[in-house]
A and B are shown apart, each in its own frame.
Chain A
């Protein structure tokens, strides 16, 4: 580290590059594992076996899939807007990856320890909508534009419950910096915000119903944010072929895919950092430390990702009006009540 710093400007640039490239290494590894896990979980829920012939129990299948995607021809339809079409997958991935910079993976690793961490994540991940809309519009295809429109409507609607749920966690922890939010919850499972946070007992007990409801609502809203079933209307393969990425092939399609999986992790990470204690150990000071912190954080996130996959293979897709009903008439009013309740309890 010191030797690099002695190199002056170039050393610090090198450090910055390595520092910022760490999440992408993680995302790629995580995408490989999740790709495999999703297919396996899906298969076993349906009493099937999934991949069995590529390596031991098909463990090499993700690599084979990536190899296939790399070899595929990158087709662009003649009626497409070529520039926007090519740009869209990168915008989507940029939105996701940008948000990763404010995620506290461990007590010693956070891309950028900014004070407006959560706010930054909410703002930057909105770029995903722009990318999806861009891809759908540029494809010049009916399925794509329908998917993109739905995606825009859905993500804009669900950003409100998400933001409100985040606001409740912020009200309790008193900070927008995710590192501070996580440190606030140190000391064991009972100090997590989902169980009222480390507040005096009476306040804590009063808070628990509100925080539990908020946590569930944040999870539901985050499912909608990343277009996962039962909110996968933008993709809806039974109605819209593949939605906004119908026209994409090869590496550009892979980019969308990677962004989707990275997004799943991102929303789980935000939920974990805000409600489930982030990188703190559930057993207080036992098994805590920077490395264990990384383990706990990723473990908790993968648990939520598993929950997302589990829900995907359980529930059917919602209708558009049901989707809007859930957002505006159920989640948002419940969150208003929660904000009022939490505010009252915190003031008293």
Chain B
């Protein structure tokens, strides 16, 4: 008798549960879809979303900290020292710029979007934006160059530095020669190195 009751009970449960399920799916037929029509409608990204890197090169002082901290080495920076007679201006954060930045390349294909480069930047010039649609057909197009220096500018800066260094070396040689002549008995002063430009050690741009 129990088996018979279980048999009819099973059938009853089967029918009622099917009805319950179908009621739910029917309700969902009229629930507005959650789909976003992506290219037309975009999801608003969270405020601190990490996507494509952007460098405000006007504010870059060429300190190389972002490049050093990068775990995948996707940032390549080259710098040229400026000569004392050049004034490169100051950044928006008030730091004095002392280095030319002829190369500031980011290979965004390598970037792992960790955001570690953003934190050490003293002038907050490297930031992560909310742009995430930048696929390319050619991988090389994913290497972004942020430097605004033209080849002529770079050449000029290099030449100036070379000249300044030569002048400094000549000055230094002359100074050592004069010192050697003047203070022959006490030789201790001659070992002191003459720096080509006066630098303040707490400035990170002067490594």
Binding site for B on A (CB under 8 A): 41, 43-49, 52, 310-311, 313-315, 330
Sorted nearest first, the 5 A-B pairs with minimum C-beta distance are: A49-B35, A314-B25, A49-B33, A45-B25, A314-B21
Inside 8 A of A310's CB, which chain B residues have their CB? 22, 25-26
Q: Please, how many angstroms separate the alpha-carbon atoms of A45 and B30 in the complex?
A: 8
12 A-B residue pairings within 8 Å (CB atoms): A41-B29, A44-B33, A45-B25, A47-B31, A47-B35, A49-B37, A310-B25, A311-B22, A314-B18, A314-B22, A315-B18, A330-B11
Q: Mark B126-137, 1 if CB is under 8 A from A, else 0.
A: 000000000000
Cβ of B6 within 8 Å of any chain A Cβ, yes or no, is no
Cβ of B28 within 8 Å of any chain A Cβ, yes or no, is yes
Contact A45 B18 (CB under 8 A): no
Given A52-B37, A315-B18 in contact, is the A45-B11 Cβ separation under 8 Å? no
Binding site for A on B (CB under 8 A): 11, 18, 21-22, 24-26, 28-35, 37
Inside 8 A of B11's CB, which chain A residues have their CB? 330
Query: Which partner residue on chain B sits nearest A334 by CB separation?
Result: B11
Query: Which partner residue on chain B sits nearest A316 by CB separation?
Result: B21
Number of inter-chain CB pairs below 8 Å: 37
Contact A48 B33 (CB under 8 A): yes
Contact B35 A48 (CB under 8 A): yes
Contact B35 A45 (CB under 8 A): no
Q: Please, how many angstroms separate the alpha-carbon atoms of A314 and B30 in the complex?
A: 15
Inside 8 A of A48's CB, which chain B residues have their CB? 33-35
Contact B34 A45 (CB under 8 A): no
Inside 8 A of B33's CB, which chain A residues have their CB? 43-44, 47-49
Q: Please, how many angstroms separate the alpha-carbon atoms of A45 and B33 in the complex?
A: 9
Q: Please, how many angstroms separate the alpha-carbon atoms of A311 and B35 in the complex?
A: 23
Measured CB to CB, the closest approach of chain A to B205, in angstroms, equals 52
Contact A44 B29 (CB under 8 A): yes
Query: Which partner residue on chain A sits nearest B17 by CB separation?
Result: A315
Interface contacts beyond A41-B29, A47-B28, A310-B25: sample of 9 additional A-B pairs, CB < 8 Å, sorted by A: A44-B30, A45-B25, A47-B34, A47-B35, A52-B37, A311-B22, A313-B25, A314-B18, A330-B11
Inside 8 A of B21's CB, which chain A residues have their CB? 314-315
Inside 8 A of B30's CB, which chain A residues have their CB? 44
Q: Which of B28, B32, B37 contacts A45 (CB 8 A)?
A: B28
Inside 8 A of B24's CB, which chain A residues have their CB? 314
Given A314-B21, A314-B22 in contact, is the A44-B28 Cβ separation under 8 Å? yes
Query: Which partner residue on chain A sits nearest B28 by CB separation?
Result: A45
Inside 8 A of B32's CB, which chain A residues have their CB? 47
Measured CB to CB, the closest approach of chain A to B181, in angstroms, equals 87
Q: Please, how many angstroms separate the alpha-carbon atoms of A8 and B198 in the complex?
A: 115
Query: Which partner residue on chain A sits nearest B32 by CB separation?
Result: A47
Which of B11, B18, B25, B35 has the most A CB atoms < 10 Å from its CB? Answer: B25
Measured CB to CB, the closest approach of chain A to B95, in angstroms, equals 50
Measured CB to CB, the closest approach of chain B to A334, in angstroms, equals 8
Q: Which of A45, A52, A311, A330 contacts B29 (CB 8 A)?
A: A45
Q: Please, how many angstroms separate the alpha-carbon atoms of A47 and B25 in the complex?
A: 10
Inside 8 A of A41's CB, which chain B residues have their CB? 29
Q: Please, how many angstroms separate the alpha-carbon atoms of A311 and B31 in the complex?
A: 18
Measured CB to CB, the closest approach of chain A to B207, in angstroms, equals 55
Measured CB to CB, the closest approach of chain B to A168, in angstroms, equals 19
Query: Which partner residue on chain B sits nearest A322 by CB separation?
Result: B14
Inside 8 A of A43's CB, which chain B residues have their CB? 33
Query: Which partner residue on chain A sits nearest B34 by CB separation?
Result: A47
Inside 8 A of B25's CB, which chain A residues have their CB? 45, 310, 313-314
Inside 8 A of A311's CB, which chain B residues have their CB? 22
Inside 8 A of B37's CB, which chain A residues have their CB? 49, 52
Measured CB to CB, the closest approach of chain A to B26, in angstroms, equals 7
Q: Please, how many angstroms separate the alpha-carbon atoms of A52 and B22 in the complex?
A: 26
Contact B22 A46 (CB under 8 A): no
Measured CB to CB, the closest approach of chain B to A143, in angstroms, equals 29
Q: Please, how many angstroms separate the alpha-carbon atoms of A46 and B24 in the complex?
A: 11
